[in-house]
Amino acid sequence: MVRGFGVEEFDGEGRYLEARFGKLSVVSLYLPSGSAGPERQASKYRFLEAFMPWLQALKRKRRDFVLCGDWNIAHKPIDLRNWKSNQKNSGFLPEERAWLDRLFGEERWVDAFREVDERPDQYTWWSNRGEAWAKNVGWRIDYQVASPGLAGAARRAEIYKAQRFSDHAPLIMDYDL
């Protein structure tokens, strides 16, 4: 078990836990949310800045990785219902989305869910206000991100909504490993 990625500010919050199974590592990841205000958004940006070099180092290891959890960023307009009105809100800011663009582009990490499900209206988080859950007014901010060597390995994805456990729904995926 690996706890943390070497940055005290975030390791103390338990944001990175890695379990190793042979040549596969499964990571539980929880990126900071910036929605509580400017201080938390600044913390989120510090996390993103520190985490990209960690991800680059992981790519050089002789193992595959699947990073699962709440990334607190909706990547593209398809990933949230009201994208036009949320462009200035944490979780859909241009800088956050550009960071994911780099991750999934230049760095070649894989949004495993989008490999197998390109449909709109597939969300993993809903506000507790109004009837967001009932009306499916949500955000897809929970991911399974696979290392480049696992590109094409995802076979099936499901957002489990039969029961409601919290404001998030579990993202279940199958891989051909």
| Cα–Cα distance for residue pair 47/155, rounded to 1 Å | 30
Provide long-range contacts, Cβ within 8 A and 24+ apart, for 117-122: 117/157, 118/78, 120/78, 121/81, 122/159
* Residue that has been written with the tokens 């490993």 in this structure: 177
Instruction: Match domain 2-175 to its CATH number in 2.60.40.10, 3.60.10.10, 3.10.20.30, 3.40.50.300.
Output: 3.60.10.10
Active-site residue set: 70
Q: Are 80 and 73 in contact (CB under 8 A)?
A: no
Coil/strand/helix, residue 143: strand
* pLDDT, tens digit (0-9, with 9 covering 90-100), for 116-135: 999 999 999 999 998 999 99
For the chain, domain boundaries = 2-175
State the average pLDDT over residues 80-109.
98
d(CA 117, CA 82) in angstroms, rounded, equals 20
